[in-house]
């Protein structure tokens, strides 16, 4: 007998699934329960080097209210049907909108797109999961609120809830997004609605201004996890500064990253440079200006000699440090002196401001990201190899020069073994760096796709063998990364899962938790 | 008597104000705020497509006589590096308007 569904949840009979779908339709209406291949097509495409069949959903549910979600979890518990929650559902290079496991029902919260509150004085927002950065940006402009967003590079089409819940980062002084989260509403697997922190106090007006509430701080367990469905999310916004000065500092040799990091760290920890600085390799910036095919053809990774030609032709450093100063003009002048003094000491750095580099397309999009303006220019990366293959390799590094050089060299060496290029950058926290490498490959080429998979696996294995952990990963490698954090943490995650979601209906497999 | 009435009224009024200004977002609030909806094809193009297709990231797609059905199919399925867009992001009705906007010559708008 042919199934009327394109996939079924693991261990659920078609008869039971039918009954669940019937009940979902009663709650949401027919139009908001998608089951046909055509309707589910946009939930299937990923950039990962695995078969789409491994991540094909059985259905998608378009919920719009908390009450609906409470009813949905009741149905899921009854029929043991697992849901995979998405908000704006982009998560490109991390799994897109597809579920972790074949047959899971996507609970698509994109239509929950209400901006519930933006407070100009206290500079916070409370939004639903489907709100995009573009929507919030337009709202702030329209109401002249004088607040800035911090967002990841897929800005306009992504949103603050999904990005922060997956502990993503941006490029302004508020770039470590979860640091600026304040208060969540979460529908639990048993249907109860929890408001974290001060949100649990009836009639409290401090939900979005004081994070900790009373007792154990719970917000963290709802990030990168599957312990609840976040339906409202509060976070802090940056007041628009009177002045903003973006700049780029270029270096010509890969080993110079040691000097760069040693110079930046004290400036970053002391707050002279307040934002999440980026140290981007030439191959991360090159796609904005150059075509790979103009410099190299055939299989294999790009040779250093070609990279140097690209740098020369397109005015790039091998390292391009993008940072900015924020504040009054007087504050910026003082800090600019400190920055230039620090970077000019060795004579290796080329420092440029908007005056010298304002027309450069790489500088222009980086400046936008550092002031919370919408841009999707970073997607130029996807043109580098073409074919729509991308995975973010994201190990964490100390903000120490020798460490960043070691990580870069190891990454480059493993990528080259599989014929792939090092398109990497370091995003500077205060004491850490997110080492972000786009493992780009042509997904239409089966050989390259296979190589990309093996390469990614080796990167994770070799990095963890040296004590380097990964902070975020695509849905094909979540178990592998969870394994690198050891059995005790995995067990604690599992105990929490059993306690909060005994039937395992919420996103089984997320971060390796079942 | 009058004073008591006024007091009661004031209490009731204040209670309502407290409820209305607190962060206790309720199902009623959700119903009163319909959320975001696209105005027209031009808006969707400007807020999504143009960031790539007018920025030399993706190819030019306007003024190329691309059939509306083809545009709709690419939006829903994606194409190589281009992500797919779900009906929860661009509803079917808005997608028709978007495809229409892209496929018509600029002078026709």
Residue B20 pLDDT level (bands cut at 50, 70, 90): very low
Are A7 and A61 within 8 A, CB to CB? Answer: no
Torsion of Cα atoms, A288 then A291 then A295 then A300, to 10°:
100
In A, minimum Cα distance to B91 occurs at A111
Counts for chain B of helices (H) and strands (E), in that order = 6, 0
Residues of A assigned a catalytic role:
94, 471-472
Is B34 a residue whose pLDDT tops 80? Answer: no
DSSP 8-state secondary structure symbol assigned to residue A281 = E
What pLDDT was estimated at residue A457? 98
DSSP string, A213-265: -SSS--GGGGSSS-S-EEEEEEEE-EEPPSEEEEEEEEESSGGGHHHHHHHHH
Residue from the list B56, B77, B88 with its beta carbon closest to the beta carbon of A45: B77
pLDDT, tens digit (0-9, with 9 covering 90-100), for B56-88: 999 999 989 999 999 999 999 999 999 999 999
Helix, strand or coil, per DSSP, at residue A168: coil
- Cross-strand bridge partners of residue A506: A83
pLDDT at B11 over 90: no
Given a cut of 50, is residue B13 above it in pLDDT? no
Q: Is the pLDDT of residue B27 over 80?
A: no
Q: Which two tokens stand for residue A101?
A: 């496991």
Q: Which of B30, B56, B80 sits opposite A66 (nearest CB)?
A: B30
pLDDT band at B104 (very low <50, low <70, confident <90, very high): confident
Cα distance between residue A393 and residue A472, in whole Å: 8
pLDDT value of residue B35: 86
Number of residues assigned to chain A: 514
Tell me how far apart the alpha carbons of residues B73 and B91 are, in angstroms, rounded to a whole number: 13
CATH architecture of B41-108: Orthogonal Bundle (1.10)
Count CB neighbours of A344 within 10 A: 13
| B31 band by pLDDT with thresholds 50, 70 and 90 | low
CA distance B109 to chain A (A): 24
Domain boundaries, chain B: 41-108
Q: Report pTM.
A: 0.94
Mutate to test the interface with B, among A71, A108, A114, A285 (most CBs of B within 10 A): A114
Chain A residue closest to B36 (CA)? Answer: A113
Q: Which residues of chain A have pLDDT under 50?
A: none
Mean pLDDT (chain B, rounded): 80
pLDDT digits (tens, 9 = 90+) for A123-145: 999 999 999 999 999 999 999 99
pLDDT of residue B107: 59
Would you call A130 and B88 a contact, using CB atoms and an 8 Å cutoff? Answer: yes
User: Whole-angstrom Cα distance, residue A52 to residue A389?
Assistant: 12
With contacts defined as CB-CB under 8 Å, which chain B residues touch A204?
Answer: 22-23
Q: How far is A27 from chain B (nearest CA, A)?
A: 15
* Chain B residue with minimum CA distance to A387: B80
CB contacts of B90 in chain A (<8 Å) are none
Q: How far apart are CA A399 and CA A92, in angstroms?
A: 26
Query: Using CB atoms, which residue from A108, A376, A377 is nearest to B86?
Result: A108
Six-digit token string for A194: 């929890």
B14 is catalytic: no
ipTM: 0.96
Provide the chain B residues 49-108 that lie in CB contact (below 8 A) with chain A. Answer: 51-52, 55-58, 76-89
Q: Which helix (H) or strand (E) holds A492?
A: helix A487-500
Which of A290-294, A505-509, B5-9, B36-40 has the lowest average pLDDT?
Answer: B5-9
pLDDT at B7: 47
Q: What is the largest CA-CA distance in chain A?
A: 75
- Which residue matches tokens 């994201």? A394
Domains of chain A by start residue, with CATH? 14-111 (3.30.43.10), 115-239 (3.30.465.10), 243-465 (3.40.462.10), 477-514 (1.10.45.10)
- Residue A116 corresponds to which tokens in the numbers above? 């519930």
Q: Does B26 touch chain A (CB under 8 A)?
A: no
Q: Name the phi and psi angles at A210, rounded to 5.
A: -130, 120
Q: Which of B58, B81, B92 to mutate to test binding with chain A, by most A CBs within 10 Å of its CB?
A: B81
Cα–Cα distance list, A243 to A172, A240, A512 (Å): 14, 8, 44
- In chain A, the percentage of residues whose pLDDT exceeds 90 is 98
What confidence tier does B12 reach under pLDDT thresholds 50, 70, 90?
very low
Decide if A134 contacts A156 (C-beta within 8 A).
yes
> Is B20 part of the contact surface with chain A (CB cutoff 8 Å)?
no
Are A376 and B57 inside 8 Å of each other by CB? yes
Q: Which residues of A touch B57 (CB under 8 A)?
A: 376-377, 379-380, 383
Annotated catalytic residue, options B68, B82, B84, B99: B82
| A contacts of B88 (beta carbons < 8 Å) | 62, 89, 108, 110-111, 130
Nearest to A134 among B47, B79, B88 (CB): B47
Measured between alpha carbons, how far is A365 from A165 in angstroms, rounded to an integer? 25
Considering only CB atoms, which chain B residues are within 8 Å of A130? 35-36, 88
CB within 8 Å of chain B, chain A residues 371-400: 374-377, 379-380, 382-383, 386-388, 390
pLDDT score at A242: 98
B49 φ, ψ (degrees, to nearest 5): -60, -45
Tokens 């060496």 locate to A413
Nearest CA to CA, how far is A262 from chain B (Å)? 34
Paired tokens of B2: 């009058």
pLDDT at residue B3 greater than cutoff 60: no
């Amino acid at each position: 007998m042919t199934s009327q569904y394109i996939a079924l949840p693991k261990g659920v009979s078609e008869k039971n699934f039918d009954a669940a779908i019937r009940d979902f339709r009663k709650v949401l209406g027919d139009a908001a329960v998608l089951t046909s291949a055509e309707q589910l097509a946009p939930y299937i495409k990923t950039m990962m080097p695995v078969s789409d069949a491994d991540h094909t959903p059985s259905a998608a549910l378009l919920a719009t209210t908390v009450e609906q979600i409470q009813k949905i979890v009741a149905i899921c518990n009854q029929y043991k049907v697992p849901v995979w929650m998405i908000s704006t559902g982009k998560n490109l290079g991390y799994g897109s909108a597809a579920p972790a496991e074949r047959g899971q029902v996507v609970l698509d919260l994109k239509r929950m797109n209400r901006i519930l509150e933006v407070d100009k004085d206290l500079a916070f927002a409370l939004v639903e999961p489907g709100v995009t950065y573009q929507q919030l940006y337009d709202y702030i402009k329209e109401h002249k609120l004088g607040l800035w967003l911090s967002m990841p590079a897929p800005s306009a089409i992504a949103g603050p809830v999904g990005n922060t819940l997956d502990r993503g980062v941006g490029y302004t002084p508020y770039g470590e997004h979860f640091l600026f989260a304040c208060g969540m509403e979460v529908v639990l697997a048993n249907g109860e609605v929890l408001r974290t922190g001060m949100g649990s106090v009836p009639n409290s007006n401090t939900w979005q201004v004081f994070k900790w509430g009373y007792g154990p701080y719970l917000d963290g367990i709802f990030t990168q996890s599957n312990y609840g469905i976040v339906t409202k999310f509060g976070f802090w916004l940056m007041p628009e500064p009177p002045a903003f000065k973006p700049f780029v500092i270029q270096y010509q040799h890969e080993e110079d990253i040691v000097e760069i990091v040693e110079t930046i760290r004290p400036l970053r920890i002391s707050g002279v440079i307040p934002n999440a600085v980026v140290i981007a390799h030439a191959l991360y910036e090159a796609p904005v200006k150059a075509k790979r095919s103009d410099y190299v053809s055939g299989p294999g990774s790009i040779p250093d000699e070609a990279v140097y030609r690209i740098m020369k032709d397109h005015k790039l450093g091998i390292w391009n440090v993008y940072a900015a100063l924020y504040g009054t003009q007087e504050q910026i002048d003082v800090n600019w002196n400190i920055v230039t003094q620090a970077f000019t000491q060795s004579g290796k750095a080329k420092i440029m401001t908007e005056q010298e580099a304002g027309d450069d397309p790489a500088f222009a999009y980086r400046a936008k990201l550092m002031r919370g303006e919408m841009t999707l220019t970073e997607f130029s990366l996807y043109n580098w190899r073409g074919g729509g293959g991308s995975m973010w390799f994201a190990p964490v590094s100390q903000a120490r020069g020798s460490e960043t050089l070691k990580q870069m060299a190891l990454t480059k060496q493993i990528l080259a073994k599989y014929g792939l290029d090092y398109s990497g950058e370091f995003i500077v926290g205060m004491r850490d760096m997110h080492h972000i490498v786009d493992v780009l490959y042509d997904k239409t080429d089966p050989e390259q796709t296979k190589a990309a998979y093996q390469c990614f696996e080796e990167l994770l294995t070799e990095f963890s063998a040296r004590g380097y952990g990964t902070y975020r990963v695509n849905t094909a490698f979540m178990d592998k990364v969870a394994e690198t954090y050891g059995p005790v943490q995995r067990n604690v995650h599992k105990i929490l899962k059993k306690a909060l979601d005994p039937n395992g209906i919420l996103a089984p497999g997320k971060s390796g938790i079942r | 008597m009058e004073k008591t009435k006024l007091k009661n009224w004031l209490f009731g009024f204040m209670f309502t104000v407290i409820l209305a200004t607190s962060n206790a977002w309720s199902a009623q609030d959700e119903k009163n705020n319909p959320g975001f909806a696209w105005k027209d094809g031009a808006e969707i193009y400007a807020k999504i497509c143009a960031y790539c297709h007018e920025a030399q990231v993706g190819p030019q797609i306007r003024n190329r006589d691309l059939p509306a059905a083809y545009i709709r199919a690419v939006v829903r399925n994606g194409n190589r590096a281009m992500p797919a867009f779900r009906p929860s992001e661009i509803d079917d009705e808005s997608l028709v308007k978007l495809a229409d906007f892209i496929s018509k010559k600029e002078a026709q708008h």
